[in-house]
Structure 1
Amino acid sequence: MEPEALEISPYNPHHRIPLSRFQYHLASCLRKNPKKAKKMASCKYNACHVVPVKKLEEHEAACVSRSTVEEEDSPSPLKVNLPNAGQKGHGNASVVSPRLPSPDVWNVDSTDCRPMFVLKSFVPQKLVCERTPDSQRQTTTPHS
């Protein structure tokens, strides 16, 4: 079994942490070193890349994790473009919902065909329970 590579903590260079525990260490070391943390920033491509704020832009330009994130942001084959109102479409072309995949895409296992969740439709209109004033209540007298 090969020993795991050790990473050096950006908050304390004396800390050497196995890569599998590095994220946990960054979170705890961040809380323990608030002054140093103010001078550091996380890379937008990899949260484990913590560099001085002054060098962040330079790091992100050359970050090794950058290419994998940009590939994930590329257009998906499941995204469907709807024709604009100004565009003339084919007479027999059906309009496809942007949440549903194209019927031509049949070999993808993880298609997301569920309807979009809208919180507003599940929240009751009136969130505050109002109390009926005593003057408007019907008074009932016990029958003797």
Structure 2
Amino acid sequence: MDSEGLLQCPYDKNHMIRPSRFPYHLVKCRENNRHVAKVLATCPFNARHRVPKQELELHMQTCESKCPLEPFPDEAVMQKAEHFSSWQSPPCEENWDEDYSSAPKPFVLNEFGNYQPYSSHDSVDGQCAPGSV
């Protein structure tokens, strides 16, 4: 197998893994090497980067996965605030004070109103249903 393109496992330096399998290997190898996992930290910019905890600050400053966080210019923020401040909510069509006594009764599970559920012991014209004892 070509060793180019393989990534070295941070938990076991003898493990060389294909990039497509690397995230899965990290999870499995972390469980198998808990003593090493205790001293490694995960990079907040790329979860595949595992570095010693004492080197995390340096890694974060130099990480190639770090994306620059540039603040918005004040003009853009003010334009967005003006856009949203002119919005008005539509009038409410509900009237919570309205009397709902004429509304149909809501469905309640296992409530039958004036009706009783059918049972095989029910009789038809005073006789037992066929097959009932």
Q: TM-score, normalised by structure 1?
A: 0.48
- 1:46-125 equivalences under 5 Å are 46-67=46-67, 70=68, 81-83=80-82, 95-96=86-87
Task: From the superposition, tell whether residues 15 and 3 of structure 1 become closer, same or farther in structure 2 (CA, over 3 Å).
Answer: closer
Alignment partners' CA distance in 1, 2:3 and 2:9: 18
Offset of residue 61 of structure 1? 0.3
Task: From the superposition, tell whether residues 53 and 3 of structure 1 become closer, same or farther in structure 2 (CA, over 3 Å).
Answer: closer
Structure label with greater radius of gyration: 2
Offset of residue 82 of structure 1? 1.9
- Residue by residue over 1:80-135, the C-alpha shift from the partner in whole angstroms, topping out at 9 and shown as x without a partner, is 7324xxxxx9xxx97148xxxxxxxxxxxxxxxxxxxxxxxxxxxxxxxxxxxxxx
Please name the residue that 1:43 is paired with.
43
Alignment partners' CA distance in 1, 2:9 and 2:3: 18
Task: From the superposition, tell whether residues 54 and 3 of structure 1 become closer, same or farther in structure 2 (CA, over 3 Å).
Answer: closer
Please state if 1:20 is matched with 2:11: no
Task: From the superposition, tell whether residues 57 and 94 of structure 1 become closer, same or farther in structure 2 (CA, over 3 Å).
Answer: closer
Please name the residue that 1:6 is paired with.
6
Task: From the superposition, tell whether residues 34 and 95 of structure 1 become closer, same or farther in structure 2 (CA, over 3 Å).
Answer: same
Offset of residue 74 of structure 1? 6.4
Alignment partners' CA distance in 1, 2:40 and 2:20: 22
Task: From the superposition, tell whether residues 94 and 5 of structure 1 become closer, same or farther in structure 2 (CA, over 3 Å).
Answer: same
Q: 2:81 aligns to what SS in structure 1?
A: coil
Q: Structure 2 stretches of 5 or more lacking a match?
A: 89-133
Alignment partners' CA distance in 2, 1:28 and 1:55: 23
Alignment partners' CA distance in 2, 1:10 and 1:61: 20
Alignment partners' CA distance in 2, 1:64 and 1:46: 9
Please name the residue that 1:31 is paired with.
31
What is the aligned-residue identity percentage?
35
Alignment partners' CA distance in 2, 1:96 and 1:4: 57
Q: TM-score, normalised by structure 2?
A: 0.52
- Residue by residue over 1:62-91, the C-alpha shift from the partner in whole angstroms, topping out at 9 and shown as x without a partner, is 000002xx36x865xxx87324xxxxx9xx
